[in-house]
Amino acid sequence: MTDIKVGVLGLQGAVREHMNAIEANGATAVLVKNKEELNEVDGLIIPGGESTTMRRLIDKYDFMNPLKKFAESGKPMFGTCAGLILLAKSIEGYKEPHIGVMDVHVERNSFGRQVDSFEANLDIANVAEDFTAVFIRAPHIVSAGENVEVLAKHNGRIVAAREGQFLGCSFHPELTQDHRLTGYFISMVDESKKN
Ligand code: GLN
């Protein structure tokens, strides 16, 4: 695997940790702070943070159309936590989605106020049977379209899924030293480059 460039949308959130996880898998990490930088990458990670804040910054820095074009081009995108909310086609309680490309319906902050953050051990299909996942005010996928492959559930709720070029998870895969889910995304990018 050589010369795979994976961007991390660098408007807000745990950007550096994602870049480390990409590099740990032997790919090149690119910080994407300007829309022009999207042209340099083969795939894009949208980190966690606060989806409403990130949306405001996406608009402020004129990223919305470039992000939609990036999705249309078929390049892989991986949304983690708030990033998943940004990718989702519909959001509970909202009339409009944000980027709105992945066929899932998500609910924000859906694990309850009492337990804002927690860790859970997940069995993630195609990735790992024993993945420690860090959830922080996490969303979950309430329902998914027929082309969506559910990769992991926690307490019966979908917390990781893939639809073709799109990968989404409720948790923060960049906050531990287990970089296998990022590795799975990089293999998606590798595949898409061959096509
Ligand atoms: N609660 C945040 C939101 O709704 C997501 C939290 C996160 O990314 N850790 O956007």
Per-residue pLDDT of 130-184, as tens digits, reads 999 999 999 999 999 999 999 999 999 999 999 999 999 999 999 999 999 999 9
Q: Which residue has the tokens 């930088």?
A: 37
- CA-based nearest residue to 6, from 150, 181, 132: 181
Maximum pairwise Cα distance, the chain: 46
Domain 5-194 adopts which CATH fold? Rossmann fold (3.40.50)
From 12, 51, 56, 106, mutation site for ligand 1 pocket: most ligand atoms within 8 A of C-beta: 51
The CA distance from 133 to 12, in Å, is 20
In this structure, the residues whose C-beta lies within 6 A of any atom of ligand 1 are 48-51, 81-82, 85, 108-109, 136-137, 139
What pLDDT, on the 0 to 100 scale, is given for residue 2? 59
Ligand 1 atom with the smallest distance to the CA of 172 is 9
139 close to 146: Cβ distance less than 8 angstroms: no
65 CB-near residues (< 8 Å, 6+ apart): none
Per-residue pLDDT of 18-31, as tens digits, reads 999 999 999 999 99
Q: Which of 17, 18, 81, 98 is catalytic?
A: 81
Question: Cα of 2 to ligand 1 centre, how many Å?
Answer: 33
The CA distance from 138 to 119, in Å, is 11
- Atom 2, ligand 1: which residue's CA is nearest? 50
- CA-based nearest residue to 30, from 50, 10, 53, 2: 10
Per-residue pLDDT of 67-104, as tens digits, reads 999 999 999 999 999 999 999 999 999 999 999 999 99
- Report the alpha-carbon angle 158-11-108, nearest 5: 30
Stated as kind and residue range, the H or E segment containing 184 is helix 180-194
pLDDT band at 195 (very low <50, low <70, confident <90, very high): confident
Q: Annotated catalytic, 172?
A: yes
Asked whether residue 1 carries a pLDDT value surpassing 60, the answer given is no
Task: Phi first, then psi: give them for residue 108, nearest 5 degrees.
Answer: -80, 155
Asked whether residue 112 carries a pLDDT value surpassing 80, the answer given is no
Q: Which residue has the tokens 């695997």?
A: 1
Looking at the whole model, is its pTM more than 0.95?
yes
Asked whether residue 194 carries a pLDDT value surpassing 90, the answer given is no
